């Protein structure tokens, strides 16, 4: 049976990409005056302009045909029906249920999960009300002033990003995050905190995650050193499903907030993993975050493909990756409060779609997810934008811009917006040698000096980008933005015929770490390669 790269839709797109090789993005605007109107879409308050992509109307229709060929509509229906779309683990991927209203119907294996979801949510809201209102007291009778979330991966990146993005409206206790097993992070967070007024949230589905439990035990020792062992129940709560391990740690099961096997780590910020976000923001704002995500879920499920924001973003990324040869995807949020957005998205996309086999386990002969990277504007303009403009490799960019700022410095907001729009225009337009010559001649440069200077100032342009506008960075818009990228990731997985919801690639390193740790203690190590054994020897010598 012919593979994906020999399928009719794929071959048609490959041929069309060759036909467009001599066409610039700027020339597409010249032949299509209404291009911006055609190449834009809007939903849930978010506006997408993809007119600066190197694709024409025919190319978009071919991409939509690829989506039909790959069964995107059917896979989307299966996703929302709670079927086991995570085939290797035989699980649903049902994070949409976590942000659905109480009266919605979401079923897994015939069981309506909404009562379970809102039961946990109600408990989280009640707990948050106690902590935020001062009713929850520590062992010495003092209210909680600081909350430390201990997790890793999705148990850290999602809530950390949300709390940072919405810090301007946070009105609860101060929140801090510890993920790295490097003790420097925990030490820095604990510095200046008081055990009597600090609450720890230990987030681990199994309550056995190596890095998380190492940090949790160190935090436990720090807390009990002053307050005593009896105080642990007042200063630690758990987000987990392993009641036995939680109670063994010293946490009352009444203060354990659970979730389900159909909640993947990188999709978990909407679940009990978001407890720290509720403590910081309050139930009303967290509810608005859920509402924005739910609205994007409904748009993704019901909007026609040609006006469907996640579908368009996913297909355009596949176009750039598989037919135009892009190997990375740059994310440039023009909002300082989104400084952790890229890190969250890196896990979402690269852990989901960083696969080399299809759903049947066959090796693929096409690129899957590009490397995702970036930083906030305007910082990024003074770091890596030189490469984006003049490097030999084209790197597509997603620009993200909230239109209204939460701060009063409106002149700086206008400057920020101007830079965002100018960068996308410059990437598309570039600057020719003739334009550079005219500019330098106007400044009085001539002769050999002029000719030597020109090549260094030429910009090839024709570098694609999307621009996503948000009304403002509030809980509702943030929820919609995050769900947009979640569904974009799913669309890409369908195009590439891969399972977006497992992550076996993270397991081998964990397994080998156990062997190395055992060898550090003098137990075994014979299964390690000679390089690792030599490096281990140096580590031992340094610790001696």
Distances (CA, A) of 9 to 12, 23, 62, 317: 5, 21, 7, 16
**Would residue 382 show up in a list of annotated catalytic residues for this protein?**
yes
Catalytic residue among 230, 248, 362, 510: 510
Please indicate whether residue 510 is annotated as part of the active site: yes
Which phi-psi region, left, alpha or beta, contains residue 167 (left: φ > 0; alpha: ψ -120 to 50)? alpha
For 106-162, give the DSSP string: -EETTEE-HHHHHHHHHHHHHHHHHHHHT-SB-TTSPBP-EEEEE--THHHHHHHHH
* DSSP characters over 346-404: HIIIIIHH--SB-TTSPBPSS--SPEEEE--TTGGGGTTHHHHHHSSS---EEEEEEEE
Q: Output helix, strand, coil percentages for the chain, rounded to the nearest 5.
A: 55, 10, 30
Q: CA 63 from chain center: how many Å?
A: 24
* Measured torsion, CA atoms of residues 222, 227, 230, 231, in degrees rounded to the nearest 10: -80
Question: How many angstroms separate the CA atoms of 296 and 81, rounded?
Answer: 17
Residue 380 CB-density burial (10 A; 0-12 exposed, 13-18 middle, 19+ buried): buried
Query: What are 31's two structure tokens?
Result: 């032949």
The answer to whether the CB of 177 falls within 8 A of the CB of 136 is: no
Name 178's bridge partners. Answer: 150
Distances (CA, A) of 537 to 154, 525, 542, 543: 33, 11, 9, 10
CA separation for the pair 439, 185 (Å, rounded)? 51
Would you call 268 helix, strand, or coil by DSSP? coil
CA 79, chain centre distance (Å): 19
Between CA 349 and CA 359 the distance in angstroms is 17
Q: Indicate if 351 belongs to the active site.
A: yes
Q: Burial level of 90, CB count in 10 A (0-12/13-18/19+)?
A: exposed
- State the catalytic residue, choosing from 211, 349, 351, 486: 351
**Using CA atoms in the order 134, 135, 136, 138, what is the torsion angle rounded to 10 degrees?**
70
Which of 34, 90, 191, 382 is the catalytic position?
382
Q: Can you tell me whether residue 331 is helix, strand or coil?
A: strand
Q: How far is CA 487 from the centre of its chain?
A: 11
Point out the residues that are catalytic.
Answer: 351, 382, 510
């Amino acid at each position: 049976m012919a593979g994906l790269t020999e399928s009719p839709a794929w071959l048609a797109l490959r041929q069309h990409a060759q036909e467009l090789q001599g066409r610039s993005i700027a020339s597409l605007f010249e032949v299509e005056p209404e291009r911006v109107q055609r190449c834009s879409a809007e939903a849930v308050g978010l506006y997408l302009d993809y007119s600066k992509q190197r694709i024409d109307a025919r190319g978009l229709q071919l991409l939509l045909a690829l989506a039909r060929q790959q069964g995107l509509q059917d896979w989307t229906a299966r996703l929302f029906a709670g079927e086991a779309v995570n085939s290797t683990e035989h699980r649903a991927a049902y994070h949409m249920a976590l942000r659905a209203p109480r009266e919605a119907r979401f079923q897994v294996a015939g069981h309506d999960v909404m009562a379970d979801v809102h039961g946990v949510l109600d408990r989280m809201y009640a707990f948050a009300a106690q902590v935020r209102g001062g009713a929850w007291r520590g062992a010495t009778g003092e209210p909680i002033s600081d909350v430390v979330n201990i997790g890793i991966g999705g148990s850290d990146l999602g809530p950390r990003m949300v709390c940072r993005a919405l810090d301007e409206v946070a009105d609860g206790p101060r929140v801090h995050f510890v993920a790295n097993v490097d003790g420097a992070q925990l030490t820095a967070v604990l510095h200046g905190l008081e055990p009597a007024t600090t609450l720890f949230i230990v987030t681990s589905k199994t309550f056995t995650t190596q890095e998380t439990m190492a940090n949790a035990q160190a935090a436990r020792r720090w807390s009990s050193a002053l307050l005593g062992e009896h105080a642990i129940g007042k200063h630690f709560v758990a987000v987990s499903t392993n009641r036995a391990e939680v109670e063994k740690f010293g946490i009352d099961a009444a203060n354990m907030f659970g979730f389900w096997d159909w909640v993947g780590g990188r999709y978990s910020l909407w679940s009990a993993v978001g407890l720290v976000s509720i403590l910081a923001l309050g139930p009303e704002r967290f509810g608005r975050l859920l509402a924005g995500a739910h609205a994007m879920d409904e748009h993704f499920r019901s909007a026609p493909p040609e006006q469907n924001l996640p579908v368009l973003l996913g297909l355009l990324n596949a176009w750039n990756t598989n037919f135009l040869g892009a190997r990375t995807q740059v994310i440039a949020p023009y909002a300082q409060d989104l400084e952790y957005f890229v890190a969250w998205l890196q896990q979402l996309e690269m852990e989901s779609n960083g696969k080399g086999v299809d759903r049947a386990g066959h090796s693929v002969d096409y690129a899957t997810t590009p490397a995702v990277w970036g930083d906030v504007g305007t910082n990024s303009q003074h770091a890596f934008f030189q490469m984006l403009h003049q490097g030999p490799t084209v790197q597509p960019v997603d620009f993200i811009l909230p239109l209204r700022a939460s701060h009063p410095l409106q002149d700086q907001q206008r400057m920020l917006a101007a830079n965002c729009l100018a960068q996308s225009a410059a990437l598309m337009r570039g600057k020719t040698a003739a334009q550079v010559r005219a500019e330098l001649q106007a400044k009085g440069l001539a002769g050999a000096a002029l000719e030597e200077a020109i090549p260094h100032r030429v910009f090839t342009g024709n570098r694609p980008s999307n621009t996503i506008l948000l009304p403002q960075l509030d809980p509702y818009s943030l929820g919609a933005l995050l769900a947009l990228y979640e569904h974009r990731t799913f669309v890409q997985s369908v195009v590439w015929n891969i399972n977006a919801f497992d992550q076996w690639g993270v397991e081998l390193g964990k397994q080998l770490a156990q062997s190395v740790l055992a060898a550090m203690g003098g137990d075994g190590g014979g299964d390690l390669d000679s390089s690792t054994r030599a490096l281990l020897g140096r580590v031992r010598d340094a610790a001696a």
